[in-house]
Structure 1
């Protein structure tokens, strides 16, 4: 049968079903076996055979479980996912699939409104600037932004281009064709790192390819990433991404590695960038502390950046993440545009509904529990082997202590302990543990001794249902409900679990429309002149841009951040996220006014930026446990 005819018949069949039952729904079912991309298949023929086998296995699986006529298989997913989409009219079908072996996840298909990653719209670029420059695809055209960082993944959709302009350095994971018209230059600098013995050839790649956990292709995508790229993370579409100047070109200078970098390598990179003729230079990097010597302005890197500015290159640098302490700025010189970070009006909230009707608010970019039903709740310590100390299992970092027969199908209460603060434990590992033990999801509660100002890894995207109750009030309410509904023996062993709950979908963003607020981590002025922290007569930071919870391109090969390993996009925060916003906007101004100097471009941004939230109402700044009116520093 011809594909077009088959599709027409399938649509006709489904439409007929719709007339019969309004309960008909589509579900996506993911299986436990690996898809094609996870397999080491050497040629196209082997790939085709494997995909055909997976499709056949899906058909046999469904035929063995479900009555003929009770479902229609719409798709078999074989390349990126191992699973299928199934159209059903009977709720019994869902119950059968939920209890079937080898089913990893069932997710009800939903209609979602597709959004951009928001900051271009938030800054007024989409309606005011892009149309004036010929549209998004041309915004920034003819302008080259240089990035000194940990490299780039040229295969990411944010940087792909059908054109070819092979001027980059070939090397590991980076063929000459990677310089494709979007990426017009790419080189790496590692001589100082090699000399110091810190360059690891098995990990760091002797090429411009980004293998660092900080995924510093992040700045590249935020400033000049392609327009309208689907933001896929853990098999969910969070919207469509765009750089500030999607039409701009990128030149990459890799001088940093997982361990950091050396100033001499960075200076060499700046030198090459200016020689190559970049228009804007973005540095989401800075020194670890104020350089020693008579003046912070006179170290080699600062002078190199001065010369870059004199050559007509606008240098944009992150202010640092040492806030809210005063004089924590790490971008000192007056010739550098130093960027502070704000939070935006986008929120990713999640909640859990308890069996007694309570609704507790938290966070967690995670799918909901299946089917809208309530699942039994069990504390980690109550469903583990008795010879294991409770404190060792409450963080849910290891699957081995859990008793599989007790945890299967339950929501497990874990605790955010001091191990998370020291990064010995992670939320990503919690999710991995829950997946391994076959639980329905997890609830992460706060340890009373820690508090809840900053939850490390709270914005990691998850594949299993989960919610982080990031305040003591919600955590206490859950424990009170759980303890009052758990039956125990005289020795204190849990023998009955009557507490129930369901987790809602935490992946849908809400937009409050509120004004930006200076992020607590964003470094403050006043600027300093030397290591003695003597105040300099230079106003810093220069300008503020969105820096909190920003979607940006990530390298799936990155090893340094286990929260988001294997993902193409990540939700990140820091002044390093704010900096490329300003670099991209500077590129738009440069396109419109190619003869303007770096000082003129920075002045244009400063003098047209908002300095109040609304007329007469100051922008606020996060301080320790409070909000205060923001100041120029």
Structure 2
């Protein structure tokens, strides 16, 4: 995307309903889900009760083939194009667990990896990290996305060994490619999943080739080979690489510009399980307002089966922040990733003012910082820091006419609409040839604003907006920059102080090292999760202004007279997710026997909570970030390789989670592959008991004065004997007592449990309280965050 614009503009599609609303007619339901329903039949078995095609034939009287996908590896079922009435009949057939509409989900570097390493080195007392070379990794990262551009230099296979023999996948070349699609020892597998409906058929390539760019960018971030002198037209120059350059990539193209079909996602999960991937990376999901129940969530269902097979599934948290309760992909078997900045910022400066008279007037009209007063007294042009990517060719000195959108309104137009630069409210004759100052709300994107001002003849746009934060949108050659509302007020005061205001917008410059960093991105979705008793997101990673490989034929992104870019700078939790996927692959390579939950625990317990100013990480607003913003903190690229202890969450934990969430055994069978024959839901199955599953964080809702939870830690340090002592960081209003206060391990792999009792020191909690529990043996520090809330769980199942 351009900044966030690829996700929010090119791929801005709302999630369709996951449920059949009784108020919607059958014909309308068919339109919503493209006429496709997912028929889920539970665990895969060597002998399936029904052949999928035969089951359909027994129901359908029409002759055309209705079967879209068949699922037979990690789980059983199929997707078919049927009517709502036929879907209802299918749901009654023996062996069918559930039938639900096919949902449409949406897609949610030269420096980011160096920044993460610097952040780890900044912590003097951080965990020791492995000296193993990630180039030696042979892990396989499966990516569900928009496809991949195999000719990118980021996917060269120089010095890579043979393809791992455990790989069982294939490389689908396709039939309508402009050039042949070839896999190699880096891209070892590629598959595509197409729909044949009229809405999306025009975007299909019948190939795994990426025609959007998103999947290529994600794959390169996770496992791209090292590429020297990479940049976006000279901007952000450096060596581009993925988090696990030695890992292999398997691409599953499940998305088109319309979004990502749930039936395709389930098909890709099914294939990936059989193919032999180690990690699955999904930079996609529902919108926060459309988050489905687990029993009809294709990501949650597919991931449960994958995790049971030992595959770590990493998902983006969503781009619906900064509001609370917006996090998606929050099932406890997923590793959910928020987005944060790195220590590089893209500045496009605005210079205003020309001459002694204008500046003296301006001096008396506006309150100045010391630096701006000095600039005025020295009669230099005033400079304001803007955020953007543009390649402005305006003059370097402020000589271009500057106008406030409000001052350019038509005679009968609304002033507020004109100040926002609504094109219908502006007088084109006043806009033409000028730089326009616009106050942006969120009714339309800055990219749309740019196009509208270009059509009116403006030569540049200065946008006042506090919500865009550190995200640099890409405006190509047209001069656009985004400033704070405070600076906007000063520029407007300057305009009002003189008869002929002038300005210029300078081309973007990459500023490093930028402080503070990391900062939680304004767009990153926040907790609490749907179940307040599981803390989500789990972790944060770089997701703002990330440079990585791009498709090689994107003429729309190309500057005039230039070839299409080979790299692009974009933002989103889509970009933070593959950072974690790459690190997870390195952990798996070094610790091949570790379970997905052990990998997740290692990542979470070794995270950092300080920025490059050695202060607490903040949100974009400047407030101290909490676990609802970043989970356990910012990921470390090396510390998780040797975490000391891990918290393993097993299948019984996940089944109990479903029980505690209100699901009965028949409903649990919708999600789980296999349930132990003797498993029953605990007699006490309240939502509050979710806090007790063995997760590497603690979240307590409905707190009424006292609560005790249990955690079990596993020694993975390899030491025969090791003693860990506990320390707690508790906020005012809560006492935290850990029993025992010392864990004495005698061998590697040993598990020891402890209890944590939270008690209130106040009569009523007025807000959610955050803290942490840390076990240390002098070599390793193993930290888990906690949150205590008097609020109840957001939602549970009614089944």
Over 3 Å counting, the alpha-carbon distance change for 1:609 and 1:504 in structure 2 is same
Distance 2:152 2:274 in 1: 27
Q: Is the 8 A contact 1:174 1:208 kept in 2?
A: no
Q: Is the 8 A contact 1:397 1:425 kept in 2?
A: no
Unaligned 5+ segments in structure 1 are 1-115, 487-496, 530-534
Paired residue secondary structure (1:252): strand
1:154 to 146, 150, 156: 150
Partner of 1:171: 175
Cα deviation digits, residues 527-568 of structure 1 (max 9, x gap):
325xxxxx4x33322222122222233336569999999544
Pairing 1:358-397 to 2, within 5 Å after superposition: 358-367=382-391, 372-379=396-403, 395=421
**Structure 1 pair 610/187, CA: closer, same or farther in 2 (3 Å)?**
same
Counterpart for residue 204 of structure 2: 204
3-state SS of paired residue (1:267)? helix
Deviation of residue 456 (structure 1)? 11
Aligned counterpart in structure 2 of residue 421 of structure 1, from 429, 440, 443: 443
- Structure 2: distance between partners of 1:519 and 1:141: 31
State the Cα distance separating 1:250 from its structure 2 match: 0.9
Partner residue in 1 for 2:460: 442
Structure 1 residues 561 and 428, CA gap change in structure 2 (3 angstroms): farther
Any conservation in 2 of the 1:141–1:248 contact (CA below 8 Å)?
A: yes
Could you tell me which runs of 5 or more consecutive residues in structure 2 were left unpaired when the two chains were aligned. Answer: 1-108, 122-127, 164-169, 360-379, 628-769, 771-784, 788-799
Residue aligned with 1:245, SS: coil
Matches of 2:614 and 2:114 in 1, distance apart? Answer: 24
What does residue 3 of structure 1 align with? none
**1:459 alignment counterpart:** 473
Pick closer, same or farther for the CA change 1:481–1:506 going to 2, 3 Å.
Answer: same
Q: 2: distance between equivalents of 1:386 and 1:328?
A: 40
Equivalent residue number for residue 311 of structure 2:
313
Q: C-alpha separation between the residues in 2 aligned to 1:237 and 1:291?
A: 36
Determine the structure 1 residue equivalent to 2:247.
Answer: 248
After TM superposition, give the deviation of residue 461 of structure 1 in Å. Answer: 4.8
Q: Which residue of structure 2 lines up, in the alignment, with residue 509 of structure 1? A: 511
Distance in 2 (alpha carbons) for counterparts of 1:581 and 1:617: 23
- The residue that corresponds to 2:220 in the other structure is 221
SS at match of 2:214: coil
* Partners of 1:542 and 1:215 in 2: CA distance: 23
C-alpha distance in structure 1 between counterparts of 2:342 and 2:471, whole Å: 18
Instruction: Provide the rounded CA distance (Å) in 1 between the counterparts of 2:412 and 2:405.
Output: 9
| Shift, 1:297, TM fit | 6.1
Kept in 1: contact 2:435–2:503 (CA 8 A): no
Task: Specify the alignment match of 1:36 in structure 2.
Answer: none
Structure 1 residues 258 and 445, CA gap change in structure 2 (3 angstroms): closer
Please tell me whether the aligned partners of residues 151 and 254 of structure 1 are also in contact (alpha carbons under 8 angstroms): yes
Give CA deviations for 1:31-81 in whole Å, capped at 9, x if unaligned.
xxxxxxxxxxxxxxxxxxxxxxxxxxxxxxxxxxxxxxxxxxxxxxxxxxx
Q: Is the 8 A contact 2:543 2:572 kept in 1?
A: yes
Change (3 A) 1:482 1:384: closer
Can you list the C-alpha shifts for 1:102-133, whole angstroms capped at 9, x where unaligned? xxxxxxxxxxxxxx622111111899899933
- 1:471 match: 484
Q: Secondary structure at the match of 2:142?
A: strand
DSSP 3-state at the match of 2:137? coil
Rounded Cα–Cα distance in structure 1 between residues aligned with 2:565 and 2:423: 21
- 2:435 maps to which of 374, 391, 412: 412
Alignment of 1:500-539 (within 5 A): 500-529=502-531, 535=532, 537-539=533-535
Give 1:429 deviation, angstroms: 2.6
Is the contact made by 1:204 and 1:258 (CA closer than 8 Å) also made in structure 2?
Answer: no
- C-alpha separation in 1, matches of 2:118 and 2:191: 31
In the alignment, which of 574, 591, 599 is matched to residue 601 of structure 1?
A: 599
Give the whole-Å Cα distance in 2 for the aligned partners of 1:503 and 1:221: 32
Cα separation, 2, equivalents of 1:145 and 1:484: 59
Q: Please give the secondary structure, in 2, of the residue aligned with 1:511.
A: coil
- The 1:428/1:155 distance shift into structure 2, 3 A limit, reads farther
Please list, as runs of the form range in 1=range in 2, the aligned pairs for 1:473-512 lying within 5 A after superposition: 473-486=486-499, 497=500, 499-512=501-514
Aligned pair in 2 of structure 1 residues 581, 218: CA closer, same or farther (>3 Å)? same
Counterpart contact for 2:617–2:624, Cα < 8 Å: no
Rounded Cα–Cα distance in structure 2 between residues aligned with 1:291 and 1:457: 25
> Which residue in 2 is equivalent to 1:239?
238
What displacement does 1:463 show? Answer: 2.2
Q: Say which of 112, 118, 125 aligns to 2:111.
A: 118
1:143 aligns with 2:139: yes
Q: Deviations over 1:393-431 (max 9, x none)?
A: 984979x99679x96xx652252555x732496255368
Q: What's the CA shift for 1:348?
A: 1.9
Q: Distance in 2 between matches of 1:235 and 1:430?
A: 28
- Aligned mates of 1:621, 1:393 — CA distance in 2: 28
Distance 1:574 1:148 in 2: 16
Match of 1:45 in 2: none
Please tell me whether the aligned partners of residues 340 and 518 of structure 2 are also in contact (alpha carbons under 8 angstroms): yes
Query: 1:592-629: CA deviations, max 9, x gaps?
Result: 22232222222221121114458995433346x85454
What residue in structure 2 maps to residue 282 of structure 1? Answer: 281
* Separation in 2, partners of 1:598, 1:453: 36
Aligned equivalents of 1:577, 1:232: Cα separation in 2? 17
